């Protein structure tokens, strides 16, 4: 029987790599510190002239091709990003034009690093309701624009990239359950203070580096372990499954220690956790999108497998999607 599922996947990673060794020349850090504390070896840096939409376009094109569709077949584009090309128009509108998806509606969502999971859940509602047939969901981020390259506690963590999927009616790769949540009381823990209506851009905000992300790393770490495990458990329970029945957990790639703690909390062995953090760092909403596309491409998922996608991010937002491949 057909129900909402994943029709196609794609991703785009900029070619330029910034290694931990390169970072040693920029801030007071070491490859050893970054590897042991985060699991990150290198991250990708998008070309200067590339914005979130440019990376999103590449990921979108490959997902559309993978689904055997044409841009005209897309009914809706949802872009999850915190690094939109501009405050408005939405990055989704820019991508719609660039790929020629002339029949689609388009909007952005901001759920930070959980954005791709929230995007899939949103897409599923449109497909289930019968309003739309093919929904393109994109997670695209140019995080390296948002980090203060003199702040070693944040600049080592993030990278650029984009991933995409098409959600539509399908006999395979069906979305069997999901859960999304939020704890707004943690909204101060990871934020970009200036440039919005609260603190508009002034010479002063630029001078005070308020256009770079600020993070309470330790607090975020502790909450991340709790909310990711909780979100995954809720979605898995809702699907009538046990954690032990999960074949592959695809988590938001924030910190390898967070991911190992989540695995332990869920009773999952290390080999059931998909990891690509070493290569890309944290790409916010693009992390789960790229990880899902790579896990599929690397044949880490077999037909009939149960896959759980789980994420958390600024907000705090969190969510999980269970897919039967
Ligand atoms: N290189 C070397 N030393 C560094 C460093 C770096 N890149 N960054 C921080 N340090 C130092 C600190 O200054 C501190 O030094 P001090 O003890 O002399 O004050 C020491 O390392 C320990 O800092 P601490 O913040 O306690 O480290 P940590 O083990 O908590 O790791 C994070 C820091 C940021 C890696 C970790 O807290 C984390 O990953 N948090 C979650 C972040 C996250 O996931 N964000 C995205 C959410 S979507």
What is the set of domains in the chain, with CATH numbers?
3-170 (3.40.47.10), 177-324 (3.40.47.10)
The pLDDT score that the predictor gives to residue 1 is: 86
Q: How far is the CA of 98 from the centre of ligand 1 (A)?
A: 39
The reported pLDDT for the residue numbered 313 is: 98
- Report the pLDDT value the prediction gives residue 312, as an integer from 0 to 100: 98
Q: Is 219 in the pocket of ligand 1 (CB under 6 A)?
A: no
Low-confidence ranges of the chain (pLDDT < 70): none
pLDDT of residue 25: 97
Q: Are 86 and 142 a contacting pair, CB within 8 Å?
A: no
Contact 254, 129 (CB under 8 A): no
Residues in a beta bridge with 249: 273, 308
Question: Which among 165, 252, 255, 296 is annotated as catalytic?
Answer: 252
Ligand 1 probe mutation, 115, 148, 218, 259, most atoms within 8 A of CB: 218
């Amino acid at each position: 029987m057909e129900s909402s599922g994943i029709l196609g996947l794609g991703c785009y990673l900029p070619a330029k790599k910034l290694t931990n060794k390169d970072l040693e020349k920029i801030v007071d850090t070491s490859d050893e510190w970054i590897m042991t504390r985060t699991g990150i070896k290198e991250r990708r840096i998008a070309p200067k002239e590339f914005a979130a939409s440019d990376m999103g376009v590449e990921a979108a094109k490959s997902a559309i091709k993978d689904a055997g569709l044409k841009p005209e077949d897309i009914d809706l584009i949802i872009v999850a990003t915190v690094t939109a090309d501009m405050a408005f128009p939405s990055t989704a509108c820019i991508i719609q034009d660039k790929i020629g998806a002339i029949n689609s509606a388009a909007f952005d969502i901001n759920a930070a690093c959980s954005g791709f999971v929230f995007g899939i859940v949103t897409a599923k509602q449109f497909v289930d309701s019968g309003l739309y047939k093919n929904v393109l969901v994109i997670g695209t981020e140019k995080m390296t624009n948002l980090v203060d390259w003199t702040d070693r506690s944040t600049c080592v963590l993030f990278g650029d990239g984009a991933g995409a999927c098409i959600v539509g009616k399908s006999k395979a790769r069906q979305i069997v359950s999901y859960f999304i949540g939020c704890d707004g009381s943690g909204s101060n823990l990871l934020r970009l203070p200036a440039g919005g209506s609260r603190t508009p851009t002034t010479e002063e905000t630029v001078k005070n580096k308020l256009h770079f992300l600020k993070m309470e790393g330790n607090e975020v770490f502790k909450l991340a372990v709790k909310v990711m495990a909780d979100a995954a458990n809720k979605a898995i329970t809702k699907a009538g499954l046990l954690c032990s029945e999960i074949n592959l957990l695809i988590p938001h790639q924030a910190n390898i220690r967070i991911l190992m703690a989540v695995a332990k909390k869920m009773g999952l062995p290390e080999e059931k956790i998909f990891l690509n953090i070493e290569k890309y760092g944290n790409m916010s909403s693009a992390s789960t999108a790229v990880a899902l596309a790579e896990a599929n491409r690397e044949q880490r998922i077999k037909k009939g497998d149960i896959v759980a996608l789980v994420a958390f991010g600024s907000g705090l937002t969190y969510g999980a999607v269970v897919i039967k491949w």
